[in-house]
Amino acid sequence: MKLKKSTIMILVMSWILFFGVCFAAFYQLEQMKEARAANEKIFKDQSTEQISEEPAEYADVRKFMADYYKAIQRDDREKLKTMVEDYQELEKQQDSLEQYIEEYQDLSYRVESVQDSGDYIVYVSYQLKIKGIKTPAPGMTPYYLAKKGDSFLIYNNEDHDTEAVRTAKQESLGRKENKELIEKVNEEYEEALKTDDQLKNFLKDE
């Protein structure tokens, strides 16, 4: 069960881990300056509707992330190799996903740009359907994307983050709307555990 807890809990609770890494820097950053306003929206998977006030390139980011999750669920490792900065890190996750995860449901994407870099941060919210368990587990995963030619590259190993990337993540987490999203997912997660003992036991199993 160690593999189950270490991987599935990271998927469902990854926003907590991300928040924890950056939490110590919040107050210092907020004292220095207010978080910059960002054009960002929540988008449903495979949605092609263009929101008038969003930058045009956000549609490309959403499509890339939708393609990424399709590759995840198909276990298309050749495609995934081209989409992440550290494929070995992703491969560990895929081995566990194939064993325990049925599918990602209700994917949505909050996209924001990183000032003066051409990079993006994407908060992906979803319902994680675990094999043999009726109730999906609400979860969220943040991603840092860099432009790579005509496409993008996901920085999926925090050990490789530069100081600029770490700062961008910290500033993003300091924004009110992102804090509210984290709180919303947390509430949905706790409610799901209350309504399904099987889900609770799976995720709490040591």
CA 181, 144, 26, 37 torsion: positive or negative? negative
Q: What is the pLDDT of residue 96?
A: 77
Q: What is the pLDDT of residue 26?
A: 39
Contact between 127 and 137 under an 8 Å Cβ cutoff? The reply is yes
Q: What is the pLDDT of residue 52?
A: 44
Q: What is the pLDDT of residue 203?
A: 86
Per-residue pLDDT of the chain (206 residues; tens, 9 = 90+): 443 444 444 455 454 444 443 433 333 444 444 434 333 443 344 343 444 477 888 999 999 999 999 999 999 999 999 999 999 989 888 887 888 899 999 999 999 999 888 899 999 999 999 999 999 999 999 999 999 999 999 999 999 999 999 999 999 999 999 999 999 999 999 999 999 999 999 987 64
What is the model's pTM? 0.76
Beta strands 42-44; 119-130: pairing state: unpaired
Q: What is the pLDDT of residue 16?
A: 43
CA–centroid distance for 147 within its chain? 17
**Could you give the 3-state DSSP secondary structure of residue 205?**
coil
Strand (E) positions, 83-181?
A: 101-114, 119-130, 137-148, 151-155
Boundaries of every domain in the chain:
2-204
